[in-house]
Structure 1
Amino acid sequence: MSILQTTIQPKHEPLVSVLMPVFNTDKYLAAAIESILDQTYSNLELICLNDGSTDKSLDIMRGYALCDSRIRVYTQENAGLVPARNRTLELANGKYAALMDSDDISASERLQKQVDFMESHYDHVAVGSYAERTDPYGSPAGITEPPLTHDEIDTALLSGDGSALSQPTMLIRTEAFKSINGWSDQFNFVEDLDMQLRLAEVGKLANIAEPLFTYRRHMDSFCFRNYQTMTTQIADIINAAYKRRGINDTVSLEQVRPDLKEKHNPAEIYRNWACHAIHNHNRKIAYKHAFNAIRKEPFNIKSWQVAYWSLSA
Structure 2
Amino acid sequence: MKPSLSILLPVYNAARYLPAALASLRAQTFTDYELIAVDDGSADRSLAILARAADADPRIRVISRPNTGIVGALNDGLEAARAPVVARMDADDIAIPDRLARQFAFLRLTPEFVCLGTAVHFMDARSALLKPCPRSADHDAIERALLLGDGGQLIHPSIMFRRDAVLQIGGYRLAAQWIEDLDLYLRLARVGRLTNLPAALLHYRIHEQSVNFTRNTGRHERKLRILAEAHAARGLPFDPAAIPPPAYKSAFSPDDLCDYAITSLGYGRRGRPWHYTWRALRAAPRARRPWRTLSYLLKHRLGLIRT
- Scaled to the shorter chain, the TM-score interval is 0.7 to 0.9
- Identify the match of residue 288 of structure 1 among 270, 275, 289: 275
| Contact 1:234-1:256 at 8 Å conserved across structures | no
For residues 284 and 147 of structure 1, the distance between their equivalents in structure 2, rounded to whole angstroms, comes to 25
Q: Give RMSD over aligned pairs.
A: 2.5
- Identify the match of residue 145 of structure 1 among 134, 145, 153: 134
Amino acid at match of 2:95: S
Report the equivalent of 1:189. Answer: 178
1:111-165 per-residue CA deviation (whole Å, 9 max, x = no partner) reads 1111111111111111111111112222222221111022121112112111211
For residues 224 and 117 of structure 1, the distance between their equivalents in structure 2, rounded to whole angstroms, comes to 33
Report the equivalent of 1:269. Answer: 256
Report the equivalent of 1:115. Answer: 104
Q: Once the 2 structures are TM-superposed, how far is the Cα of residue 230 of structure 1 from its aligned partner?
A: 3.4
- Identify the match of residue 251 of structure 1 among 216, 239, 242: 239
Report the equivalent of 1:38. Answer: 27
Report the equivalent of 2:59. Answer: 70
Q: Once the 2 structures are TM-superposed, how far is the Cα of residue 97 of structure 1 from its aligned partner?
A: 0.9
Say whether 1:302 aligns with 2:293.
no
| Counterparts in 2 of 1:121 and 1:14: CA distance versus 1, 3 Å | farther
| Contact 1:266-1:293 at 8 Å conserved across structures | no
The 5 A counterparts of 1:1-313 are 15-226=4-215, 229-247=218-236, 249-253=237-241, 255-256=242-243, 260-261=246-247, 266-267=252-253, 268-280=255-267, 285-307=272-294, 309-310=296-297, 313=301
The alignment's TM-score, normalised by the length of structure 1, stands at 0.86
Secondary structure of 2:247's partner? helix
Bigger Cα displacement from structure 2, 208-217 vs 13-22: 13-22
Q: Once the 2 structures are TM-superposed, how far is the Cα of residue 257 of structure 1 from its aligned partner?
A: 6.2
| Counterparts in 2 of 1:241 and 1:300: CA distance versus 1, 3 Å | same
For residues 278 and 37 of structure 1, the distance between their equivalents in structure 2, rounded to whole angstroms, comes to 29
Question: Which has the higher Rg, Structure 1 or Structure 2?
Answer: 1
| Counterparts in 2 of 1:286 and 1:209: CA distance versus 1, 3 Å | closer
Instruction: List runs of 5+ in structure 1 lacking aligned partners.
Output: 1-11
| Contact 1:160-1:234 at 8 Å conserved across structures | yes
Instruction: List runs of 5+ in structure 2 lacking aligned partners.
Output: 302-307
For residues 115 and 173 of structure 1, the distance between their equivalents in structure 2, rounded to whole angstroms, comes to 10
The alignment's TM-score, normalised by the length of structure 2, stands at 0.88
| Contact 1:157-1:164 at 8 Å conserved across structures | yes
For residues 141 and 72 of structure 1, the distance between their equivalents in structure 2, rounded to whole angstroms, comes to 33
Amino acid at match of 1:67: A
For residues 283 and 112 of structure 1, the distance between their equivalents in structure 2, rounded to whole angstroms, comes to 25
| Contact 2:142-2:194 at 8 Å conserved across structures | yes
